[in-house]
Structure 1
Amino acid sequence: MDFSLDSLMLSRLQFAVTTLFHMLWPLLTIGISLFLVLMEFMWLKTGREEYFLHVRYWAKFLLLSFGIGVASGLPLEFEFGTNWAKFSSTSGGFFGNILGFEGAMAFMLEAAFLGIMIFGWKRVSRRMHFFSSIMVAFGASMSAFWIMDASSWMQTPAGVSIQDGQTTITDYVAAVFNPSMGYSFAHMMAACLETSLFFIGGISAWYLLKGRHTEFFLKSFKASLALAVVVTPLQIYLGDLSGRGVAKYQPAKSAAMEAHWETNLPGQGASAVLLAWPDQANEKNAWSIEVPGALSLLATHTLDGRVPGLKEFPPQDRPPVVLPFYSFRIMVGIGMMMFFLMVWTLWRWKQSRLTP
């Protein structure tokens, strides 16, 4: 891959930086809104004031993340046209509709009820306020659905044909529910919840370490931990499901993520590369640390499953290797760190060491 700073690379860098900054805020908006729905439900069911206080406190972070998400999301949508005008022109028949659905169906629903949720405590009934909280969470989740639909369609396009350089929709349902949509959306929703739970738990832990408002933040810390016990292992499972989906529908991309150059022989499992320095010019790894047979097990759930190597694909159809290879490992590493942190904290809780 050519890393010279031409207009193409600059467009990629600008879009990547905008996306990286924007991505965090919808994650928190979705996850915190779902957390607030649970807290408000518990308040209505039990009448315990502590749940009410948690809703009021964490809703402030929801408002902040929503505001920054809107401000950073608008430039991102404009960049589809300014940076990728040809793609927008070619695929606008479907891609533009999906982004329009996200704005009209999801964002507007979320924005309409957010004001009631934040400022309507003394102006509407408890049930109406709870309904508003549900609508905010539903609208935020719908935003994730449509955005992930656009993303997954770019990965595994379906239901369309290209005629004279224009995308024509032939099956709208197939396009929306394309092959990678299901596991991509599930993986993203779990990421929203996991990130938000660790965000809430992290802030709570900071206050506990400082010895400030310990009774309040110990409850939010334990609530986030209890939910993380379910969500974190689920996210690992969904990550495995997503990885197998990539191996099935995008084998060249999967091979690049794994720096896997040679297709394994029949009866021999493909080795998983833990660390390496991919040499794309010479079609090999300059050095590598491998686990025999592990890649076949991960990609096919068999010890000797066939995993196509990058050499099976024409050079012009191969994705870059170094960036996907290392970014994938950073993602997996962070996910495993979160899992072990959750397990360690749960063990501390079971040892009765989580006290004000």
Structure 2
Amino acid sequence: MHQDRAERRQPAGAADPAGRRDPARPGRSGPRPLRLPGGTSLRVERRALVVGAVLAAAALALSVLLVGTGDFEIAPWDVVRTVLGDGTPATEFIVNDLRMPRAVVALLVGAALGTSGAVFQSVSRNPLGSPDLLGFGYGSAVGALAVIILFHGDAAEVAVGALLGGLLAGAAVYLLAYKKGVQGYRLVLVGIGASAMLVAAVQYLITKAQLTEAGRAMVWLTGSLAGRDWAQVWPLLGLCAVLFPLILGHGRALRMMEMGDDAAHALGVRVERTRLLLMVAAILLTTAASAAAGPISFVALAAPQLARRLTRSPGGNLLTAGLMGSVLLLASDWGSQRAFGSDQMPVGVVTGLVGGVYLLWLLVTERKAGRI
């Protein structure tokens, strides 16, 4: 009885006399309730908040560095002053008209790829469930190349073709994987098969192209942020403004679905409806990113895994995955302009190199851990 009274007096999250912490009681490192107006509370992981804040600051700093990088170097403080309206006419033209759209597109494309990758990895419950491995990126490539090679379209028409191609590929993969619902392993297998077929279609289209069209197609397939202007920013920004809140609003349901369809259904989640809605939103983000910058590889694959390792939190980590995607793409674009001198490489080449190194590192760590 004396022991029971002592335990009742013990504060939540405190250690017992043996030095152990009661896992049923929230400690300092566990989720804390965040009180919102109207009596609503939201449980927030402190570590995830800190990681998200650090990633947001890193994305902002990299954006400033990227805007200041080029043939005419601009100091970071001068970039900030120009954005705030206190720059010279020359810096205002360079920053606001020439370089700012590129940085904004990189920020939005990285966030779109990171968030869509987190959705697909959670839906498939597979770390390889990435849009660029499931065929959606190649669907966009087929649509864009068809417009370039067969219809000789301009940049706006190529973007529309990429968007439609990705959506058609996503619909085909979903329908082929559907059998009383969509299971993760079936989705991955169908996606890999679709990717192989779409790669063959891309190669066939290139063989039918004239020399100038083939060169234009290869530039698009590499993935690049060069020459981006505000015409690419506004459609992408509008789509992200609609889809990001939609996906984040279903984060709790997505986390429950990772426990299995039966468990999620028992907890009140409309599993197939939620899965379809999230997949459509993630496919739209992926295809919009491809339409704006071409098929940027490995960002959607690596960003969610890196975010999860930093937060040490289960679930999709949707917000941190999006921020990590922005950081990866901004850093890759800045590195592509800095690391190779006058011979600037397209950002898709840099993300491919970084992604290959990441996969090798992941393979080594998983083998040391005895998981493979």
TM over 0.5, yes or no? no
TM range (shorter): under 0.3
TM-score (structure 2 length as normaliser)? 0.27
TM-score (structure 1 length as normaliser)? 0.28
Q: Answer 1 or 2: which has greater strand percent.
A: 1
Quick one: higher RCO (CA 8 Å, sep 6+), 1 or 2? 2
